[in-house]
Amino acid sequence: MLEQLGNGLLLGVIIALGSVALSLLYGVTRIVNFAHGEIIAFGAIMALFFSSSPDSSLLYLDRFSPLGINFLTSVILSILLCGVFGGLLELCLFKPLRKNNFGNIAVLVVTIGLSIFLRHIYLLFASAKPTSYILELQRREDYFGVQLTPRNVQVLIIGFAVMVLVGIFLTYTRTGKAMRAVRDSSDLASISGINSDYIILVTWIFSSMLAGFTGIIQGVINNVRWNMGFLILLLIFAGTVLGGIGTSFGAMFGGFIIGILVQLSVGLEFMDGHTEAKNAIALALMIIILLVRPQGIFGNKDRIS
């Protein structure tokens, strides 16, 4: 079971980052965003598009050959592009829906439609075949009994550093505090002088950049494919709910726990040969914890509804 701990930590970081982004967006906008997985995939696919060799024929329609840019630059460009993508989603789709007083369930259905639409657009432009970034192959090494490649260790460190930075941003910056204020009550924020529309736009941009980053590290650890975000979306929802809806710290923690549990369950004896069922045990545990503590581990009872 312990040999799965390395994979568990890696999946944990992916799910934790995805959960923070989802939880932040939900907290501020009250949107349960089923298209979150597609923003994750967008970041990974764009990084692939920017960084792959121009003569690679694995991806994209013939006329869109990859750009062959250096990987780090590709990552930065992709994350920025995800921010623009999130901003446009808010300005062109979700803000008009909000102004027309669309109910939460109607908006949820819109996000499901958006998810299916975007996923199949990706399938049109990026092949269905899982593809890897142009990065040198590395062997796994032993780090305190945990098997990881040096790049995996870098990813873990960067992932945790990003989570700490998100925490600092939300706790200490003026915009971060305003995001938490709008999360508490957007009407009260407005009458305090905060432009809630501006804060919601910033949250879409910030959450989408974080989602794009999640997709890129998922691509680095595993590979890039058109439905990669959708495949982990359920785990991200589980992480968010487990940690406590509306708390970013809870989402980080819940996501991390879910990711580790999923991978550790692969090592269980009775799972031998049934690894495709690896999500089952983690999700069952989530249900049991929520039965005992409906608000999640760090959640506030007032926010359950």
Partner 1 sequence: MNNPLIEVNGLASGYVKGLNILQGVDLVLKENEVVSIIGPNGAGKSTLLKAIMGLIPIFGGKIYFKGNELIEIKSHELVQKGIAYVPQVSNVFQSLTIEENLEMGLWSTKNEHSNLFKEIYSMFPILKEKRKERAGNLSGGQRQLLALGRALISKPNVLLLDEPSAGLSPKAINEVFQYIKSINESGVGILLVEQNAKRALSFCNRGYVLDQGRNAYTGLGKDLLKDKKVIDLYLGKL
Site of interaction with partner 1 (CB under 8 A)? 174, 177-178, 180-181, 183-185, 187-196, 300, 302
Question: How far is the C-alpha of 198 from the C-alpha of 212, rounded, in Å?
Answer: 21
* Pick from 245, 305, 281: nearest CA to 1: 281
Nearer to partner 1, 180 or 278 (CB): 180
Residue 159: CB minimum distance to partner 1, A: 25
Residue 249: CB minimum distance to partner 1, A: 11
Residue 192: CB minimum distance to partner 1, A: 5
Nearer to partner 1, 142 or 302 (CB): 302
Question: How far is the C-alpha of 107 from the C-alpha of 93, rounded, in Å?
Answer: 10
Helix or strand or coil: residue 225?
Answer: coil
Nearer to partner 1, 154 or 185 (CB): 185
Could you tell me where the beta strands, DSSP code E, fall in 197-246?
none
Nearer to partner 1, 77 or 194 (CB): 194
209 within 8 A of 46, measured Cβ to Cβ: no
DSSP string, 112-149: HHHHHHHHHHHHHHS-SS-B--S------EEETTEEE-
131 within 8 A of 48, measured Cβ to Cβ: yes
Residue 181: CB minimum distance to partner 1, A: 5
Nearer to partner 1, 108 or 181 (CB): 181
CA dihedral 220, 248, 300, 257 (to 10 degrees): 30
Residue 185: CB minimum distance to partner 1, A: 5
